[in-house]
Structure 1
């Protein structure tokens, strides 16, 4: 849910900062301008989060895996005092607490080895994920997450640019691809003229981006309510069907409000599906492999983000119709994969 807060914070901050045009000379040719301030303000939440984490203890589970039982007990006691306001001994009503030793399945893969041997041991520890009985399902999960990240983040990154170009549409009666096509033609003509290119950002760009963030916030709230009654797999498939339909309709719809709603659905529904999919992965692999499984799936999902954002940047303007058709195709593949996964409807 905090992802949606950031999706509101970033455009709101950009609107407040980039609406002004000022400059402060610092040293030589280095000039402090609004976009530099925006970079600092977007870094601020991460810095605050990092400072907050300093006072938190290490995970007791990790400390036990490193044979640091005393430090693990201190961490558990800190957590108990933070949550309950009481030491762990009072919460459990006992004089002494002993923690069950953590099985050292990974045996300090990183710290005990160096160089190529470390990589070999990481590969050996990961290998069971790709073997029977859960290897096939794990690969399908990776494909599904790749497609979700590809479509959701691929559109979301370029959404402000699409809105900004659409704001120049005077008759407000053109499809997205028609607007982008005329915008590209206008830029090509500008390159051959002496006119100055305008880098102004439309107010609608900020507002529509914040609307997407609010949509995420509402979407996460609704998802939490309907997930258990309707079932995890049912919600996943319904979300993917709606996102496929939204991507298809973007080829034809010209009404600005409907276009905004369709874009929100194309970004929102695959994005919400990611968290549901991660919960399903946890159920599909053994406890000892869950950490590795989620980490690998998220890593490959981020590759989907890289692929989607870069590919859309290359083909969106020149092959707009093909771009949205490709996104719909990616989501269809994702739907087929999710349909064949043995995901339990009960969370």
Structure 2
């Protein structure tokens, strides 16, 4: 169990040693620090004898950027630095992506943790029923996980393995699609697949198709989170990106807690309401993504 702390500890060490980007320093009016970081990168990549001056770069000139001038400290200063996120024209993409992330996290993480248990209940029934009927019958027969967490069989882990493998495949698919089309189209496609998967669970009875429906409901949402964050990063000025991404991700993680508790309280009460609510969530994602602004980086109205 303690081994799970190792990646986090290693990440903290790496982040501590990683310098801030020169672009950020320029955006907040600190060209000297930007020059120092760029000088260090130059020496690391081209050798210790190579300097920016030897390449003809004597200084860095910051562009016209937002500069915060305040005497406030502590929480008051943090609020002053964060407040521009909630002003036009940044407010619209910030709110759209934040709500989108809330729904994606809720479906991709909050529901996913319950899918293996739901499929296990259905697998113990040994009947061709739709997922909710299998869960209701499992509850009626008081079927629960009888295996010790320390002695799980491969059969019990099948659903988790399928979900993990499909998450990798969908991530690769999104990467390939990103070469050929735009982020907005990919997000709409992934959300549509989730809606289709959720609707499948209302009528498919073959166990393999039930698994497919669960995968399509949860995995596209899970795989779309980073893509949605990239849209937010491009929509927010450099000096506000870290705060915007942190806030949006925080609300996304709140979605995980809300969704997990929602499933826990409603699954035994009305399974159809439980799963179809996530269909509503992903339909909401489709509507929100369709409202995202166009990306003008190529000089044309190209969708994000």
- Say yes or no: TM over 0.5: yes
Q: Structure 1 residues 239 and 98 mapped into 2: Cα distance closer, same or farther (>3 Å)?
A: same
Please state how far the C-alpha of 1:318 moved relative to its aligned partner.
2.3
Give the alignment partner of residue 263 of structure 2, picking from 312, 336, 343. Answer: 312
Structure 1 vs Structure 2 CA RMSD: 3.2
- Equivalent positions of 1:282-297 (< 5 A) are 282-297=233-248
Please give the alpha-carbon distance, in whole angstroms, between the structure 2 residues aligned to 1:285 and 1:267: 28
1:233 paired with 2:184, answer yes
1:263 paired with 2:218, answer no
Please give the alpha-carbon distance, in whole angstroms, between the structure 1 residues aligned to 2:158 and 2:124: 16
Cα contact 2:94–2:232 (8 A) shared by 1 = yes
1:147-173, CA deviations, whole angstroms, 9 ceiling, x for partnerless residues?
A: 1111111111212222332331223x1
Please state how far the C-alpha of 1:98 moved relative to its aligned partner.
4.2
Please give the alpha-carbon distance, in whole angstroms, between the structure 1 residues aligned to 2:164 and 2:123: 20
1:94 paired with 2:55, answer yes
**Residue of structure 2 in register with 1:15 after alignment:** none
**Residue of structure 2 in register with 1:113 after alignment:** 73
- How many residues were matched structurally? 292
**Residue of structure 1 in register with 2:299 after alignment:** none
Please give the alpha-carbon distance, in whole angstroms, between the structure 1 residues aligned to 2:236 and 2:37: 28
1:19-54, CA deviations, whole angstroms, 9 ceiling, x for partnerless residues?
A: xxxxxxxxxxxxxxxxxxxx2233333234334545
Please state how far the C-alpha of 1:95 moved relative to its aligned partner.
7.6
Which stretch shows the higher mean deviation, 153-162 or 59-68?
A: 59-68
**Residue of structure 1 in register with 2:136 after alignment:** 181
Please state how far the C-alpha of 1:121 moved relative to its aligned partner.
2.9
Give the alignment partner of residue 2 of structure 2, picking from 13, 25, 40. Answer: 40
Please state how far the C-alpha of 1:92 moved relative to its aligned partner.
7.6
Give the alignment partner of residue 111 of structure 2, picking from 155, 161, 165. Answer: 155
Give the alignment partner of residue 198 of structure 1, picking from 130, 136, 146. Answer: 146
* TM norm structure 1: 0.72
Give the alignment partner of residue 327 of structure 1, picking from 259, 278, 282. Answer: 278
Please give the alpha-carbon distance, in whole angstroms, between the structure 1 residues aligned to 2:183 and 2:141: 47
Cα contact 1:150–1:305 (8 A) shared by 2 = yes
Please state how far the C-alpha of 1:57 moved relative to its aligned partner.
3.4
Cα contact 1:66–1:108 (8 A) shared by 2 = no
**Residue of structure 2 in register with 1:28 after alignment:** none
1:57-78, CA deviations, whole angstroms, 9 ceiling, x for partnerless residues?
A: 33254677696947x6665455
Please give the alpha-carbon distance, in whole angstroms, between the structure 2 residues aligned to 1:254 and 1:282: 42
Q: Structure 1 residues 48 and 127 mapped into 2: Cα distance closer, same or farther (>3 Å)?
A: closer
Q: Structure 1 residues 269 and 343 mapped into 2: Cα distance closer, same or farther (>3 Å)?
A: farther
Q: Structure 1 residues 167 and 214 mapped into 2: Cα distance closer, same or farther (>3 Å)?
A: same
* TM norm structure 2: 0.81
Please give the alpha-carbon distance, in whole angstroms, between the structure 1 residues aligned to 2:264 and 2:282: 19
Please state how far the C-alpha of 1:105 moved relative to its aligned partner.
2.9
Please give the alpha-carbon distance, in whole angstroms, between the structure 2 residues aligned to 1:92 and 1:161: 62
Q: Structure 1 residues 77 and 134 mapped into 2: Cα distance closer, same or farther (>3 Å)?
A: closer
SS in structure 1 at match of 2:224: helix
